[in-house]
Structure 1
Amino acid sequence: MDLETITVNQKVISAKKLKKMFGHLDLRDADLICPIRDVMATVSDKWSTLIIMYLGYYPVLRFNELKKKVYGISNKVLSERLKQLEGDGYLKRTMYPEVPIRVEYELTDFGHSYLQRLIELTEWAQKYKECVLSNRANSQRK
């Protein structure tokens, strides 16, 4: 597979962005890095990623609909992730006073802004999955 050529300019731009993000920090001090790690950990785990992607595709989903779409997730984990994502502002939970109670979940504008970045990363992963699998196979032969 042909990989895109990463130019020296792209590497310089990346280095500048990373310096702006981390240059003022002592990277040995975990307390300074924790906020970044904390935010990224919440939205980058496999379950949260799938929840956000499904809510991007299906604008509104109920708990059991999400559970069916996010194959393999337990009720407990889904409930925890939904509460975390709602608390962080990625999604909105709407409860309707009906019998039985109806609860729906949808992405907020903030959640949609993250979804755009997630789509870009997913497209990159799709494009280079064969390269990754080939590298893994080569690594296991050594």
Structure 2
Amino acid sequence: METITENQKVKVAKKLKKMFGHVDLRDTTLACPVRDVMALASDKWSILIILYLGYFPVLRFNQIKKKVYGISNKVLSERLKHLEGDGYLKRTMYPEVPVRVEYKLTDFGHSYLQKLIELTEWAEMHKECVISNRNRFQGVEA
């Protein structure tokens, strides 16, 4: 397990101050730009869609649906539209019979994918710690 140094904590505190220092946190009517940008891109379905499109450069709707186990057609369609609207992915429709539609990450989507990979690596590295903490919290013997 890695140790967080005081210097790292100070750096994080400075970054958070820069992020939130100009906002009156008592005013709950203010729109949070972090929440606005991250809400869609960080939900469980969008993360999986982006990870799979990072691994498979081009996927069609049904291919994504098969890989993102458990997602409904409606939710997948909504997520793809939102991700396209925010610029994470590009949708290409080919005028064929039947119509062929493909999805791929944009350069912007690839930049977000890099951060997701860092987060998934962190999760993989710390999963045993999380499971142990969860079991201890729930009173389960390991």
TM-score range, shorter chain: over 0.9
Report the secondary structure of 1:28's partner residue: coil
Structure having the larger proportion of residues in helix:
1
Within a 5 Å distance, the mapping from 1:1-142 to structure 2 comes to 3-141=1-139
Aligned length: 140
Instruction: Name the CA distance, whole Å, in 2 between partners of 1:72 and 1:38.
Output: 25
Contact 1:55 1:106 (C-alpha < 8 Å) held by counterparts: yes
One-letter amino acid of the counterpart of residue 118, structure 2 = E
- Give how far 1:33 is off: 4.4
Structure 1 residues 113 and 31 mapped into 2: Cα distance closer, same or farther (>3 Å)?
A: farther
C-alpha distance after superposition, 1:86-120 (max 9, x if no partner): 00000000000000000000000000000000000
TM-score, normalization by structure 2: 0.95
Q: CA RMSD in A?
A: 1.1
Structure 1 residues 109 and 18 mapped into 2: Cα distance closer, same or farther (>3 Å)?
A: same
Instruction: Name the CA distance, whole Å, in 2 between partners of 1:93 and 1:13.
Output: 39
Report the secondary structure of 1:32's partner residue: coil
One-letter amino acid of the counterpart of residue 13, structure 1 = K
Q: Which runs of 4+ in 1 moved over 6 A?
A: none
Instruction: Name the CA distance, whole Å, in 2 between partners of 1:92 and 1:30.
Output: 35
Q: Any unmatched runs of 5+ in structure 2?
A: none
TM-score, normalization by structure 1: 0.95
Instruction: Name the CA distance, whole Å, in 2 between partners of 1:137 and 1:43.
Output: 29
Report the secondary structure of 1:132's partner residue: helix
- Give how far 1:35 is off: 2.3
Percent sequence identity over matched residues? Answer: 79
- Give how far 1:46 is off: 0.5
Instruction: Name the CA distance, whole Å, in 2 between partners of 1:71 and 1:27.
Output: 38
Contact 1:62 1:105 (C-alpha < 8 Å) held by counterparts: yes
